[in-house]
Amino acid sequence: MKIFTFILSFFFMQIAFAQETQPKVWSLQDCIDYALEHNISVKDAILNKNSAEVDYSKAKSSRLPDLFGNASQSFSSGSTIDPITSDYVTDQIHSTNVGINSSVTLFQGNQISNQIKQNKILLDQSIFQEEVEKNNIVLNILETYLQTLYSKENIAIAENNLEASEKEVLRAKARLDAGTIALSDYSEAQSQAATNKYNVIAAKNDYQQYIIALKQLLELSPMDDIEIETFDDNLDLVNLQLDKAEVYNNALDFLPEIQSSMLNIAANEKALDIAKGGYLPTLSLIGSIGSGYTSISDNTFSDQFDVNFNQKLGLSLTIPIFNRNQTKAAVKTATINIEKAEIQKQSTEKEVYRKVETAYQNAVSAQEQVIASEASKTAAEQSYKLAQKKYELGDLSTTDLVISQNTYTNAQQNYLQAKYLNILYNQLLQFYQGNDIKL
């Protein structure tokens, strides 16, 4: 009974261990959600946004008055001015001075208000920049995921070809032994099998390279093993019904890089207002309270602090007359930056148009390629099956069989490539319109 219990426990432990070591299967949505949370580019964009929030808060705080405390202890000997009583004395003096100072800017050429507005614009821009990074990650995940799926299916094609060619080697050996084919035909069958084995190895290596790229986007450890989930193969691959102009207009409204470029112009316009404020005077309200003690007075320390207590309140006006053309240069620089921001916005719009135009044309082309390559694959498959039957009957040479197999392999790969390109570009067009990516 104990032996039976031990064997049963060991059996369940093995099952549990196998389940624990089995790689996690990732869907496309799993990859997107995980990457948006863990990818370092997205994290960096979030930190930039947090920094912009700090700058905005700092700018708003510049409206508040400052407050500083000060204290000093001094010793002087000889003829000097008493720092507390301002009397001219010839003596050794110990003096203590404490106070609190405060000032608040009442007017500074509207620079404070414009700085606050600019920092709010920069904060909004950083939010859009975060969305730009997230979109880039989503598109990178989509492309890498589809490339991984493509390479995974390509492994299946290569393995099927290897299995078929190995069977053909066995048939060729039997025919060689029977004396119905020459040694060169048998050697060619072996060569084709070796080539197909090499193709299997290369296809598996391609798959692993894409897995590595996907893991890097997900910020996974090199020790993490992952598998990707296949999708429904019944997708409609030949039903593109989109208007290119409509897609482009929707992209201009949806893509955050457009909004970011517009805010970049607004931020530089505020920079120009800030620079122009340097021509105007600055008016500040200042105030202070303080007291002190001097050793030449006969009063006690506490009595002197009471007697010497003073308050001060006043206005300070600073009028810019000449600052070595610093303000003038700042205005010119801000004007140039506005023009550069407008050019950058035009460049961004052109880039969006290029992406939409490219995706649309590639989607149309891939749609047509799917139809053509599927017909070619079907015809090549029928031709290869017929060639195999002829080869079994001895009515076809090994060379012709190899040619037929390679033609079928190329047709399969062409269809596979067209299928995934079509999926990719259709998903891109959906994404540019603000729709979710779904497989």
CATH at residue 236: 1.20.1600.10
266 and 300 share a domain?
A: no
229 in Cβ contact with 27 (< 8 Å): yes
169 and 241 share a domain?
A: yes
Report yes or no on 18 lying in a domain: no
Interaxial angle between packed helices 398-432 and 244-254, expressed in degrees from 0 to 180 and rounded to the nearest 10:
50
Residue 330, Cα to own-chain centre: how many angstroms?
33
184 and 300 share a domain?
A: no
294 and 334 share a domain?
A: no
Of the residues 293, 319, 345, the one at which a domain ends:
319
Of the residues 268, 293, 319, the one at which a domain ends:
319
- For residues 126 and 110, what is the distance between their CA atoms, to the nearest angstrom? 24
Give the three-class secondary structure for 312. strand
397 and 307 share a domain?
A: no
How many helices (H) and strands (E) in the chain? 10, 8
Two structure tokens written together for 426: 């259709």
Number of domains in the chain: 2
- Write down the pLDDT at residue 20: 47
Two structure tokens written together for 336: 């140039």
Report yes or no on 65 lying in a domain: no
313 and 326 share a domain?
A: no
134 and 262 share a domain?
A: yes
- Write down the pLDDT at residue 55: 97
Per-residue pLDDT of the chain (439 residues; tens, 9 = 90+): 555 454 555 444 544 444 445 788 999 999 999 999 999 999 999 999 999 999 999 999 999 999 999 999 988 876 777 666 777 777 788 888 999 999 999 999 999 999 999 999 999 999 999 999 999 999 999 999 999 999 999 999 999 999 999 999 998 898 889 888 889 989 999 999 999 999 999 999 999 999 999 999 999 998 999 999 987 666 565 566 678 888 899 999 999 999 999 999 999 999 999 999 999 999 999 999 999 888 887 778 888 888 889 999 999 999 999 999 999 999 999 999 999 999 999 999 999 999 999 999 999 899 899 999 999 999 999 999 999 999 888 888 889 999 999 999 999 999 999 999 999 999 999 899 888 887 7
199 and 262 share a domain?
A: yes
What residues make up the domain containing 80? 70-106+283-319
- Write down the pLDDT at residue 124: 98
Two structure tokens written together for 309: 């207590």
Mode of pairing for the β-strands spanning 93-108 and 66-76: antiparallel
Residue that has been written with the tokens 């600019």 in this structure: 118
User: What is the pTM for the complete model shown?
Assistant: 0.85
Two structure tokens written together for 227: 């598998």
- Write down the pLDDT at residue 234: 60
121 and 213 share a domain?
A: yes
Report yes or no on 392 lying in a domain: yes
- For residues 109 and 276, what is the distance between their CA atoms, to the nearest angstrom? 8
Report yes or no on 6 lying in a domain: no
DSSP assignment, residue 114? H
Report yes or no on 272 lying in a domain: yes
Report yes or no on 9 lying in a domain: no
Neighbours of 435 (CB within 10 A): 12
DSSP letters of 25-53? EEPHHHHHHHHHHH-HHHHHHHHHHHHHH
346 and 208 share a domain?
A: yes
Report yes or no on 393 lying in a domain: yes
Neighbours of 187 (CB within 10 A): 13
Report yes or no on 150 lying in a domain: yes
41 and 93 share a domain?
A: no
270 and 247 share a domain?
A: yes
Residue that has been written with the tokens 């060379």 in this structure: 399
